[in-house]
Amino acid sequence: MKVLLFWSSGKDSAWTLYQLRKEGYPVAALLTTTRPDRIVPFHNVPVSWVRRQAVAAGLPLWEVPLPFPTPNAYYEKVVLEVLKQAKQQGFTAVAFGDLYLADIRRYKEELVRQAGLEPLFPIWIENSKRSYETAKQMLAAGIKAIVTEVDRNVIPSHPVPQPYDEKWIESLPKDIDPCGERGEFHTFCYDGPMFREEVSILWSRETHEV
């Protein structure tokens, strides 16, 4: 098996890489998408940061440029072509860091299987009830991340960037997923057991600047 991991730059992607390696899956490359301004969508971080993550993980990074906004049909066409190229290069599986949104999983499974590859969801927890437990496991394992983006419609009062830690989790309104699985917030992982070294970025815990 040869695994390609969809990489958003956040804690869930990092946790997925850690679990895949722990279970003996040979992850051979990371794949991320970028906007024309060289920013990673949703997580709102420069692709240069993601390149540093790839170096720290000891893996090549596949960068897939997309327009912004990206029509869904265009996204599917581009990603499917990349996945077909991956298959030609000997990849047999594609992994994702999704937790419990079943409709999103089905969509990704269908897209991956169109390319003749196997979809993997190594950190899948079935439902939101285990989300808090998963967040605590990540932190206990040594994952260090910053919250880089929030949905102001659901978290209007939390300034970013901030450390993703127990204080952040406990500060969230009760209806907000502790892992941000529904897009409530997004993170950037800069250290953890999946990296050979801490990812150097312009981030200060004291000033909360990036």
Q: Where does the pLDDT of residue 201 fall: very low under 50, low under 70, confident under 90, or very high at 90 and above?
A: confident
Query: What are the pLDDT digits (tens) for 122-155?
Result: 999 999 999 999 999 999 999 999 999 999 999 9
Domains of the chain: 3-120 (3.40.50.620), 131-191 (no CATH)
CB atoms within 10 A of CB 140: 8
Q: What is the pTM of this model?
A: 0.95
Q: Which amino acid is at 162?
A: Q
Query: What are the pLDDT digits (tens) for 73-125?
Result: 999 999 999 999 999 999 999 999 999 999 999 999 999 999 999 999 999 99
d(CA 41, CA 135): 22
The per-residue pLDDT for 202 is: 72
Q: Is the pLDDT of residue 204 over 90?
A: no
Task: Name the nearest CA neighbour of 2 among 16, 19, 20.
Answer: 20
Which parts of the chain are beta strand (E)?
3-6, 27-34, 39-40, 45-46, 61-65, 93-95, 118-120, 144-150, 162-164, 185-191
Residue range 185-198: mean pLDDT, rounded? 98
Residues 6+ apart with CB under 8 A from 14: 53, 143, 145, 189, 192, 194, 195
Residues 6+ apart with CB under 8 A from 68: 35, 36, 37, 41
Eight-state DSSP code of residue 204: B
The per-residue pLDDT for 151 is: 97
Task: Name the nearest CA neighbour of 13 among 49, 37, 67.
Answer: 49
Q: Where does the pLDDT of residue 209 fall: very low under 50, low under 70, confident under 90, or very high at 90 and above?
A: very low
The per-residue pLDDT for 172 is: 96
Q: Where does the pLDDT of residue 206 fall: very low under 50, low under 70, confident under 90, or very high at 90 and above?
A: very low
CB 61 within 8 A of CB 54: yes
The per-residue pLDDT for 203 is: 62
Q: Which residues pair with 189 in a beta bridge?
A: 145
pLDDT cut 70: percent of the chain above it: 96
Comparison of pLDDT for 52 and 202, the residue scoring more: 52
3-class secondary structure, 20: helix
Q: Is the pLDDT of residue 205 over 70?
A: no
Query: What are the pLDDT digits (tens) for 52-68?
Result: 999 999 999 999 999 99
Task: Name the nearest CA neighbour of 125 among 199, 19, 39.
Answer: 19
10 Å CB burial of residue 48 (0-12, 13-18, 19+) is: exposed
